[in-house]
Amino acid sequence: MKIMVQTWQITPTRNVRLDIEAASLDGVTRQLPDGYYSTFRTFGGCTRVLGLTAHLRRLYDPVTAPNVSESFLRRQLLALLEPYRPDEARVRAVMTKQGDVYLALAPLSSLPRENYEKGVRVETTELQREHPRLKSTAFIGRSDFERKHIAEEGIFEALLVKAGNILEGMTSNFFYVLAQDASRSSLYLGTAREGILLGITRETVIDLARGRGLEVNYQPLRRDQLAAVSEAFITSSSRGIVPVIKIDDVAIGQGSPGPVTRQLLQAYDEHVIQKAENI
């Protein structure tokens, strides 16, 4: 049975429960006015969120006159999460271009452990974001065909390609591990920096990688380099780090999560416990 999402409009005087029938956060978003959004999961029994300040900045920065303050929205979010405790929830916060604010909440449905232990399959697409730096709700509608396609094919994610360069995932950021030279004695972590949404989990992973002495190269992977990649993974706030073992028809590395990915997975899990913000 699909879990229905609860949706609220947050006003300065009261929270209004909306009669929107949808089985997913995307399904809710399609029924709201155009605007900007951010999606995240809770920790600590719905009391903490990793990078919550940065998530809210995605909403408030592009809008001239928000109808509620950030501090007020935090208080309302904490109150609306009460029924989900002691479990966790997945949240989508939406702000329209006119400054109206919505919260859509659902019980957190974690990925199967197998996705992290064995990795996932992804494909490339020529789909593009109109404004990559803005997390616009309009992109959800524009990417409907691709979302349905990968769901039907059992593909985990679609990677956006422009001029032969793999930039990011449709709902994630993309990383790869490549050798510095032909000897393969030294590896670096690569990720695009231009033409992408600068994900919050992406920044965390970059910091964790550098803290472990791994060089980070801000270059998109060319599609014709896939055969040379030893590891790949995608990142998002709701899913963390998810290893990628196949892109289109190309197996990545040994066809299983590699040592760099596994090290960063462990480091990320530890980081979340220490650094998630109180709502």
pLDDT score of 184: 59
Q: Give the tens place of pLDDT for each residue, 253-269.
A: 999 999 999 999 999 99
Q: Give the tens place of pLDDT for each residue, 109-131.
A: 999 999 999 999 999 999 999 89
Q: Which fold is adopted by the domain 113-275?
A: D-amino Acid Aminotransferase; Chain A, domain 2 (3.20.10)
User: What dihedral do alpha carbons 183, 188, 193, 195 form, nearest 10°?
Assistant: 50
pLDDT score of 3: 59
The residue whose two tokens read 């999402």 is 5
Q: Is there a contact between 9 and 62 (Cβ–Cβ < 8 Å)?
A: no
Angstrom distances, CA of residue 157 to CA of 7, 58, 123, 139, 227: 26, 22, 7, 15, 19
pTM: predicted TM-score of the whole model, two decimal places:
0.94
Q: Is 14 helix (H, G, I), strand (E, B) or coil?
A: coil
SS3 content of the chain, % helix, strand, coil (to 5): 30, 30, 40
User: What dihedral do alpha carbons 58, 59, 62, 66 form, nearest 10°?
Assistant: -150
The CATH architecture of the domain made up of 6-107 is 2-Layer Sandwich (3.30)
pLDDT score of 186: 83
Q: Do the domains at 6-107 and 113-275 have one common CATH topology?
A: no
Q: Is 110 helix (H, G, I), strand (E, B) or coil?
A: coil
Backbone angles phi, psi at 17, to 5 degrees: -75, 125
pLDDT score of 182: 58
pLDDT score of 234: 98
Query: What is the C-alpha separation between 116 and 111, in angstroms, rounded?
Result: 8
Q: Is there a contact between 233 and 261 (Cβ–Cβ < 8 Å)?
A: yes
- For the record, the structure tokens of 36 come out as 């900007």
Q: How confident is the model at residue 1 (pLDDT cuts 50, 70, 90)?
A: very low
Q: How confident is the model at residue 274 (pLDDT cuts 50, 70, 90)?
A: very high
Evaluate if residue 177 carries a pLDDT over 90: yes
Q: Is 265 helix (H, G, I), strand (E, B) or coil?
A: helix
pLDDT score of 4: 80
Query: What is the C-alpha separation between 93 and 279, in angstroms, rounded?
Result: 13
The residue whose two tokens read 């073992």 is 245
Query: What is the C-alpha separation between 159 and 166, in angstroms, rounded?
Result: 7
Q: How confident is the model at residue 180 (pLDDT cuts 50, 70, 90)?
A: confident
Query: For 230-241, what is the mean pLDDT?
Result: 97
List the domain boundaries for the chain: 6-107, 113-275
Query: What is the C-alpha separation between 206 and 167, in angstroms, rounded?
Result: 16
Which residues lie below 8 Å from residue 263, measured CB to CB, with a gap of 6+?
212
